[in-house]
Amino acid sequence: MRSQPFAAALLSFLARAIAQDSSSCPSTPSPWPEAGSFPVTPTLPDPFLYLDGTSRVQTQEEWYSCRKPEILDMMQHYQYGYYPDHALETVTATRSGDTVSIAVEADGKTAQFSASINLPSGASADAPAPVVIAIGGMDNNAYLSEGIAVVTYDYLSVAADSNSKTGAFWDLYNGRDIGTLVAWAWGFHRVLDALEQTAGEIDATKVGVTGCSRLGKAALAGGLFDERVTVTMAMSSGVQGLGPYRYHALSGQDETLENSKQGAPWWSDSTLADFIGQSERTPFDAHTIAAALAPRALVIDQGTGDPFTNSEGTAVVVYPAAKIVYEWLGVGEQIGMAVRSGGHCDFSGYTNVLPFVKQIFFGEASTRDYDDLSPWSPMPEAYPWASDVPSA
């Protein structure tokens, strides 16, 4: 685990990168290219290649100042929908015991929902605890016993898992072409705002977000769209999470762009449907999202008995491809793959990733090898650009 001086140096480096003149970045095509205009790419797209199809990242500073912002824009346009401008929101939180009531005002409208705080023994304003914000349920006691707070909120009160456009998010943003995964991610972030206002016993600089299955997809979006998230814990997330659009047949029965978009079209924006039947034209894949989380931490949970979310594809295609970018950025220890026996959304997944989370929060070295993909092996033919990473 990296030391605090490393963390300070990294923040300084990132500040310099972000301060670079963005006018030196390659121009993102405008208007955005249509789905059918992208070439068919059977392997994972090169994460270092800009959307113009010719320019390629050369330095770490350029990744952070140019390519990462382009990825965030690209993912919002083609998959998620555009995250609302938080600068136009006012968040007010009040606390009664373990319950935090959250009100968000934007454009003259107000939305409300609540969160529940579970504190570990000894947490106080003088000794604040790291926190995992979870939706859909997790093994709370395993984390509380290790000194990590667990905060939950009812994701369905933020946005229904349907096309009904009901819930706190839609009270503010009904009519916008935004997927429910962004709405649930927004819920994570507004809970974190509320914790910063009302929960001195929680260290809001050490924050995990997690959920499983469709909620694992939401946790991934939660990590992607808020730099305050320290570690993203994506559990059995599948397509639109960390399951690949390509190589989806590795686990037999599995989730694809087609069956996920047709079965729950509300998870993403309408533009993603343009890639149905031509998923190999997507200018991104799950590894692109994972790489855009760097330098912050990401741990991926998958069970060997979970073919529907393509556990094998996530482990042998997506993870090693994303790891290459993390290592190139000098933060390879910030990403881990947690393969376990068992099926979809087993609670054992949370104990499986816990040593990684403790390493991130507390700097405790883990004996668990989070590069071990057993019983599978990496599939380097899926990411041929790995032999040509930028020299810097």
* H, E, C per residue of the chain: CCCHHHHHHHHHHHHHHHHCCHHHCCCCCCCCCCHHHCCCCCCCCCCCECCCCCCECCCHHHHHHHHHHHHHHHHHHHHHCCCCCHHHCEEEEEEECCEEEEEEEECCEEEEEEEEEECCCCCCCCCCEEEEEECCCCCHHHHHCCCCEEEEECHHHHCCCCCCCCCHHHHHHCCCCCCHHHHHHHHHHHHHHHHHHHCCCEEEEEEEEEEECHHHHHHHHHHHCCCCCCEEEEECCCECCCECCCCCCCCCCCCCHHHHHHHCHHHCCHHHHHHCCCHHHCCCCHHHHHHHHCCCEEEEEEECCCCCCCHHHHHHHHHHHHHHHHHHCCCHHHEEEEEECCCCCCCHHHHHHHHHHHHHHHCCCCCCCCCCCCCCCCCHHHCHHHHHCCCC
Distance CA 276, CA 35 (A): 9
Residue 299: phi and psi, rounded to 5, are -125, 135
Asked if pLDDT for residue 16 goes beyond 60, the answer is no
Residue type, 242: L
Q: What pLDDT was estimated at residue 252?
A: 73
- How many other CB atoms are there within 10 angstroms of residue 108's CB atom? 6
Q: 259 vs 21, which has greater pLDDT?
A: 259
What dihedral do alpha carbons 361, 99, 222, 15 form, nearest 10°?
-60
Percentage of residues of the chain with pLDDT beyond 90: 91
CA angle at residue 390 from 80 to 378, to 5 degrees? 65
Q: Which of 217, 199, 241 is nearest to 159 (CA)?
A: 217
Who contacts 78 (Cβ-Cβ below 8 Å, separation ≥6)?
32, 35, 269, 271, 272, 275, 282, 283, 284
**pTM exceeds 0.85, yes or no:** yes
In this structure, what token pair is assigned to residue 235? 């559990």
pLDDT tens by residue, 290-313: 999 999 999 999 999 999 999 999
pLDDT > 80? residue 6: no
- Angle at which helix 286-293 crosses helix 214-224, to 10 degrees, equals 40
The model's confidence at residue 23, banded by pLDDT at 50, 70 and 90, is low
**Cα-trace Rg, the chain:** 20
- Residue 392 — pLDDT band, cuts 50, 70, 90? low
- pLDDT digits 0-9 by tens, 161-206: 999 999 999 999 999 999 999 999 999 999 999 999 999 999 999 9
Sign of CA dihedral 273, 266, 140, 198: positive
Q: What is the pLDDT of residue 9?
A: 45
**97 Cβ neighbours under 8 A, 6+ residues apart:** none
Q: Where are the domains of the chain?
A: 4-20+39-89+120-388
Q: What is the CATH number of domain 4-20+39-89+120-388?
A: 3.40.50.1820
Please write the tens of the pLDDT for every residue from 114-162: 999 999 999 999 999 999 999 999 999 999 999 999 999 999 999 999 9
pLDDT at residue number 22 = 60
Query: What is the average pLDDT value for the chain, to the nearest integer?
Result: 94
> Angle of helix 286-293 relative to helix 68-75, nearest 10 degrees?
130
Say if residue 385 is exposed, middle or buried (CB neighbours under 10 Å; 0-12, 13-18, 19+): middle
